[in-house]
Structure 1
Amino acid sequence: MKNLIFCYPKCSTCKKAIDWLEENNIKYEYRDIKQENPGIEEIRQYHKKTNLPLKRFFNTSGLIYRELGLKDKLNEMTEEEMITLLSTDGMLVKRPVFITDTNVLIGFKESEWKETLINI
């Protein structure tokens, strides 16, 4: 599998992540998360590669997240319900999401990306 990054073109954090990948010569395939959001099976696979709670996959600062009142609803949802919801709209997914054969990075923290991706 190639490295894959889900981004939203207007997102400044995504732009920083792309710049960082370019500066570090890390190859990747780009997917616009709004146009081609991850499906149920993809989200399920990505979640299995992390040690993170599924709640971390949500874009908590997003408009849709707030409109749906997910801050209060997520605690009562099953993992399957959360996965299904995430697959309905890419804007619900925290970004960028960077996927390698062995890792999934959610959001851009340079130190975390450096530790995980340099020398892969």
Structure 2
Amino acid sequence: MITVYGIPNCDTVKKAITWLKENKIDFQFHDYKKQGITKTILNNWSKQVSMDVLLNKKGTTWKACTPEEQADAAKKAGAIQLMTEKPSLIKRPVIEKGGNVLAVGFTADNYAAIFVK
């Protein structure tokens, strides 16, 4: 079973979920806002995907961070700490299966390559 990590009101997460449902792919949803995210999970992801991909520096949450928080995020430990405290900083959605990151973000072509065999 795959897990979709994100927040339900995110447009990209909505597109990903719609695509998965239309293609009859079973998944469970992990809501960062309600369920949080652990450093252990983020550390695992960071071994598979670069921090430049995981840490969303384009959103309003990043822009609202203090200069000190942004500077701390330059190091992996600081970025993980910040994403744990502010999960909206994690690029969405992250699709995972058995601890393996399958995708970060959403594009229909990428999902088709991953899920449609």
TM range, smaller chain: 0.7 to 0.9
Q: Quick check: 1:17–1:108 contact (8 Å CA) kept in 2?
A: yes
RMSD of equivalent CA atoms: 2.2
Q: Quick check: 1:46–1:104 contact (8 Å CA) kept in 2?
A: no
Long gaps (5+) in structure 1:
none
Aligned partner of 2:92 in structure 1 is 95
The answer as to 2:29 corresponding to 1:27 is no
The answer as to 2:47 corresponding to 1:48 is yes
Q: Quick check: 2:95–2:103 contact (8 Å CA) kept in 1?
A: yes
Long gaps (5+) in structure 2:
none
Task: Identify if the C-alpha distance between structure 1 residues 113 and 74 changes in structure 2 by more than 3 Å, giving closer, same or farther.
Answer: farther
Equivalent position SS for 1:34 = helix
Name the amino acid aligned to 1:68. Answer: C
| Displacement after TM superposition at 1:10 (Å) | 1.2
The number of residues matched between the two structures is 115
Alignment of 1:1-120 (within 5 A): 2-50=1-49, 53-68=50-65, 73=70, 77-101=74-98, 102-119=100-117
Deviates more, 1:11-20 or 1:31-40: 31-40
Task: Identify if the C-alpha distance between structure 1 residues 59 and 77 changes in structure 2 by more than 3 Å, giving closer, same or farther.
Answer: closer
Deviates more, 1:34-43 or 1:17-26: 34-43
| Displacement after TM superposition at 1:62 (Å) | 2.2
Task: Identify if the C-alpha distance between structure 1 residues 12 and 117 changes in structure 2 by more than 3 Å, giving closer, same or farther.
Answer: same
Q: Distance in 1 between matches of 2:72 and 2:81?
A: 15
Question: Normalized against structure 2, the TM-score is what?
Answer: 0.84
Q: Distance in 1 between matches of 2:5 and 2:101?
A: 14
Question: Normalized against structure 1, the TM-score is what?
Answer: 0.82
Q: Distance in 2 between matches of 1:97 and 1:81?
A: 20
Residues 34-92 of structure 1: CA deviation (Å, up to 9, x unaligned): 22232100011122233xx212112223222001157xx45972111111211112111
Name the amino acid aligned to 1:117. Answer: F
More helix by share: 2
| Displacement after TM superposition at 1:5 (Å) | 0.5
